[in-house]
Structure 1
């Protein structure tokens, strides 16, 4: 990560973490709120250089280029966009949660850009039916969670389509 990018991040986050007495590492992505999922960029802060050295051992060399760094810097500076994005996700997540509850399903508490939903049937089969209507959800197939879907918060129109197709396909 460039020094210029770190000088934007550190004044915002670092004072809070440096005051903590425990061991910590913070990893952040630019995928969701910043809208840079395709660029696969993020950053990390840690309390000890040894932790950073361990992470450096497993990351790929030259993992982001200058264009990606420039995009990340621009995203950090666009505070209004991030605020709009967070507001959108919060509002749409609440709407989706309410609609899923109305279908009689349990929705796990979430502060993320997705919901984890117990649909009370095999999730892979429902995900496959939804795919035929252009709705992509992730079935959770790990032991004990085969009836759960991960549903990402999208645009208002995409969320409405998701709920409409869920009503049809879940019957």
Structure 2
């Protein structure tokens, strides 16, 4: 299943919110989905480490870095930690680094850009808050669906069984 989002839009158009933001795909997994955990932080990824250290089964971390690409909020070490703890993916309204290595890790990673500089460590940020990104509300507990077509959000988990019927 390479193109999940077009099928979801066709099936659930009234139930999904499109995130109209062009992001690049850096992770080894190009199609991913899960329950949203939100983090708002600016040029400080201290709380990213704390969150991806937890069990992320069925979850996607959505980091609002306020669109800053001056410092990277995710690199290979945090991505490996997220993969180890079963996170489905990480979406960054900001930058990632170590993008060559990120492409080899089986986790979804979307970000605005690459930046080789690491962040400051001040233990600042707000977890599980409602975000506004590209004029789109992102709520903790939303379901996020991502592929090369972009990102969709839904207030409820969408039934994907119709996709299995289409492929048979």
Give me the TM-score of the superposition, normalised by structure 1: 0.20
Give me the TM-score of the superposition, normalised by structure 2: 0.20
Which one has the largest radius of gyration? 1
Higher relative contact order (CA 8 A, sep 6+): 2
Structure with greater proportional helix content: 1
